[in-house]
Amino acid sequence: MRAMAWASIFGVLPWLTFAAQAAEKVSRAEDREAVAVAIYNDTLALIKEVRRLELDRGINDIALSDVSAEMRPETASLRAVAGPPLRLLEQNFDFDLLTPQKLLEKHVGQTIGVIRTNPATGVETRETAQVLATNSGTVLKFADRIETGVPGRLTFNAIPGNLRERPTLVVKLESAAAGKQTAELSYLSGGLSWQADYVAELAADESRLDLAGWVTLTNQSGTAYENARLQLVAGDVNRVRQDMVAKAGMVAMAAPAPAREMAREEVFDYHLYTLGRPTSILDNQTKQVALLSAANVPVRKEYLLAGQGWYYQGQASDLGRKQKVAVFLEFENAGGDLGKPLPKGVVRVYKKDAGGNAVFIGEDAIDHTAKNDRLRLKMGNAFDVTATRKQTAFRQLAGRPNPVVETAWRLEVSNAKEQPVTVKVVEPMPGDWEIVSASQPHEKGDAHAAVWQLQVPAGGKQTLEYVVRVR
């Protein structure tokens, strides 16, 4: 039997290629002259690379490796930066990556080598076997038997052409001249995302806060972007939805970059943030860079008790149990170090205790916030401020088809704190409504809500009684 030149799966694979691929030129990450990454809110990024290519006159097969594994190949574009134009004829995106399992799967129906080592003597024996199946385990057919599992080291005489060490875009192009050429590759990719994270520290008197904004980047695209120009696009870009599944796996956290704010500009109806220095975004890495910093921002604290519209549509069961009073913080995105568009994200608020230790007091998500807009953050529910609500009367003044209902309510707010508080009571009202009588004056928040501002003394209570007629 003619001897075969077998290659070990663990030793020789990285440099094996098909003879048919000998004419293919490979461009790797080290051939990049520049990289720019623009990341959008919704797991989308625009990648631009400038690469040095060595071209022949006429038809060239170029394998552009180290591209994103989440590339959308239909968006890929390659153009000459300088010199004669390049005519793109064909392109293929190879994302089936070389692994021992993939290599075995590609050899189903073919013959491979099997090397066994005697553990007692160290003597190696070599056989050939045909790969019958790899579905739920490996099935090999030897000359005199069939075995399951992998009995030893497997060797292969070639690597299938569609298996790549790294995600690769293979292009066939025509060049008018031979020699070195600089070309720009651009494409859209999944696997890259960013979000804004804000950290606020509330002053001791709760009248001001310090706000720091950070951008958190996550790269799960399958490749790294070294010394890249980084831009972030804030806004809701319309996209035609396609199934793009992000890779799962461990994500390393990079240390925050130095606190230097990102430059901002308007592009179309979006906001573009640009990092003023190159940065490296490694694969499976989360990185943070500074977005903004603002000190002594005036803030207002609000206690809110919100009712429900169904309270006023009929007879209510006992609502006498305690009801939660929510706590909010409000401030204006204006003046001082603010007054700039804020990308959507999460604001986390801290306050120092008597010992000077920061205590987490709540967080809330914000949407894209324009200059001079108000930010309203829900911190949670008050511990020492509670309320009870009770329906004290019900009357059906008119039946169908035009029913009229009149209900009377008693609302009691308790304050166990050592300082007085103001509780805003918002009562949604259905239909055509009016306040017939009330123990305290109200405002019309809008067409469907009545609003009271209750002053509750320290360690005391405040009672509100009112009658509502609903048509």
Interval 80-89: pLDDT, tens: 998 788 999 9
Q: In this structure, what CATH number is given to the domain that contains residue 319?
A: 2.60.40
226 is written with which tokens?
């070294």
Beta bridge partners of 200: 211, 349
pLDDT band at 318 (very low <50, low <70, confident <90, very high): low
Asked, for residue 364, whether it belongs to a domain, the answer is: no
With a cut of 50, say whether residue 438 has pLDDT above it. yes
**Domain extent at residue 418:** 300-330+376-470
Interval 170-187: pLDDT, tens: 999 999 889 999 999 999
Q: Are residues 315 and 410 in the same domain?
A: yes
Q: Are residues 12 and 120 in the same domain?
A: no
Which of 229-238, 285-294, 414-423: highest mean pLDDT?
414-423
Residue 258: its pLDDT value, please? 41
With a cut of 80, say whether residue 116 has pLDDT above it. yes
If you average pLDDT over every residue of the chain, what do you get? 85
User: Which among 298, 314, 341 is the end of a domain?
Assistant: 298
What is the distance in angstroms between the CA of the first residue and the CA of the last residue of the chain? 98
Q: Are residues 453 and 320 in the same domain?
A: yes
Q: pTM for the whole thing?
A: 0.69
Concatenating the DSSP letter of every residue in 143-210 gives: SS-EEES--SEEEES---TT-BSS-EEEEEEEESS-EEEEEEEEEEESSEEEEEEEEEEE-TTSSEEE
Burial zone of 456 (CB within 10 Å; 0-12 exposed, 13-18 middle, 19+ buried): buried
pLDDT band at 463 (very low <50, low <70, confident <90, very high): very high
Residue 260: its pLDDT value, please? 53
Q: Which stretch of 156-160, 183-187, 365-369 has the lowest confidence by average pLDDT?
A: 156-160
Q: Are residues 16 and 134 in the same domain?
A: no
Q: What percent of the chain has pLDDT over 70?
A: 89
Residue 430: its pLDDT value, please? 87
Which of 177-181, 194-198, 315-319, 419-423: highest mean pLDDT?
419-423
The domain tally of the chain equals: 4
Asked, for residue 123, whether it belongs to a domain, the answer is: yes
